[in-house]
Amino acid sequence: MYRWGSVGRMAKEDHAQLEASLAAALDGQQLSEAATLCIRGYGPQILGYLNGLLRNEGLADEAFSRFAEDLWKSVGSFRRESSFRTWAYRVAWSAARDVQGEAFRRRGRRLETAEISQLVNEVRESSAAWRKEDAQDKLDKLRAQLTPEEQTLLILRVNRELSWKEVAEVMTTDEVPVDEAALRKRFERVKTRLRKLAEEAGVLGA
């Protein structure tokens, strides 16, 4: 059982162990095993990220289902140029953008196997306590005023403690490459804006 902090941080030794297990599964061409390990191991923090980003439990569940399906289908294409966690967040970020654009519902896609559906439900149930904590976060409503890109930047860098290189890899798309230096500057602007909003709302002192 992996250990989690209140903001979705996995213990470093558990993170290393999970990455090693994923690498072993990939080395053995056990793709289904790798997908299962990822969804069970990283699923809770990714579901927490989607809840924080989308601010809607139904949309977050929809995006998580899409993430699980896409990861299961594409695990064989993972080129191991980053950590498995970084790649998983990139799949989740793509799923979130699709759901926000209503592409997921328009296509009427559904999970194709009972195995994936069971994993999704398992992670949802284990993450129930997180949702309660997130709802109590005093900055929750303020963060909702940020763009999806800004929220993703904050969550990945602050809550999940990804490196700048990892954040850039997650947020890069085929159409829009993301530069680490530009991310750092944007991060500072977002922090300044969020602090101003917090001060105006009385959450922080002047």
pLDDT digits 0-9 by tens, 20-44: 999 999 999 999 999 999 999 999 9
Number of structural domains the chain divides into: 1
Residue 120 contacts residue 39 (beta carbons within 8 Å): yes
| 8-state DSSP, 77 | G
Rounded Cα gap, residues 130 and 133, in angstroms: 5
Is 182 contained in some domain? Answer: yes
* CA 149 to the chain's CA centroid: 12
pLDDT digits (tens, 9 = 90+) for 131-188: 544 444 566 777 888 899 999 999 999 888 899 999 999 998 877 788 899 999 999 9
Structure tokens at 23: 């690498």
pLDDT at 15: 86
Is 61 contained in some domain? Answer: yes
Q: Domain span at residue 16? A: 12-200
Is 93 contained in some domain? Answer: yes
Let me know if 62 is exposed, middle or buried by CB neighbors in 10 A (0-12, 13-18, 19+).
buried
Beta bridge partners of 10: 4
